[in-house]
Amino acid sequence: MRWQTLRSSGRPDVRWRALVVTGMVIAAGGLVIASVSDGSLFGSRFAAPGTPVAGQVDATDRVRQEIHQRFQQGVIMLHAKQHEHAITAFHRVLELDPAMPEAHVNMGFALIGLERYSAARDFFESAIELRRGQVNAYYGLAVALDGLHDRPAAIGAMRTFVHLTKPDDPYQRKAQAALWEWEADREQGGAAAGRARGREAGG
């Protein structure tokens, strides 16, 4: 699986160049973090059918507690921009619960922090496959695609984010700013290409 290959890969070439949109995405991790801070995700998710024996209850509680602990560790590391440590924490969460879309999303944000855009894209896409309404996955996917120089797909993903979020969502403004910048760049690039074709035809 995707997260199982992360540890076996070599240490990434971390370039840390300034990317305005990447900074916005790291901040966007709060979209996921806010949704799980009350621990509601860890309620009945692990409840077994029927009446479990005492040992099963204890085992379930331990798993739930470790998931919660590791997830919170990952969130703290993500905010501190300790991206490799965040990846380690979310890797463990996904070992225990591979179907948690929030963990896939935050893993994607951590990978964006290391400029590992291809792997980040895979995790955002996994989150969307698990839950179509995981809105902030579209935000992260847009930035990962932009990092892969796929501007048309990035614009499409960000437009989806804008469409799915409420007008008063705090990240609407950032998403709109990114769209404005990307679309302006695309228009300028198209105009430049048109001028070049005109010179070639006239020359």
Is 144 within 8 Å of 26 (Cβ atoms)? no
Q: Which CATH number fits domain 17-44+54-202: 1.10.10.10, 3.40.50.300, 3.40.50.150, 1.25.40.10?
A: 1.25.40.10
Instruction: Give me the pLDDT at residue 35, please.
Output: 42
- List the structure tokens of 41: 């995700």
pTM, 2 dp: 0.71
Q: Which of 149, 150, 172, 148 is nearest to 159 (CA)?
A: 172
Instruction: Give me the pLDDT at residue 101, please.
Output: 96
Q: For residues 113 and 84, what is the distance between their CA atoms, to the nearest angstrom?
A: 9
**Average pLDDT per consecutive 10 residues, the chain (203 residues; last block may be shorter):** 52 42 49 43 33 64 94 96 97 96 97 98 98 95 97 96 90 93 83 51 53
Q: For residues 39 and 94, what is the distance between their CA atoms, to the nearest angstrom?
A: 17
Angle, helices 101-113 vs 135-147, to 10°: value is 30
- Residue 126 amino acid letter: S
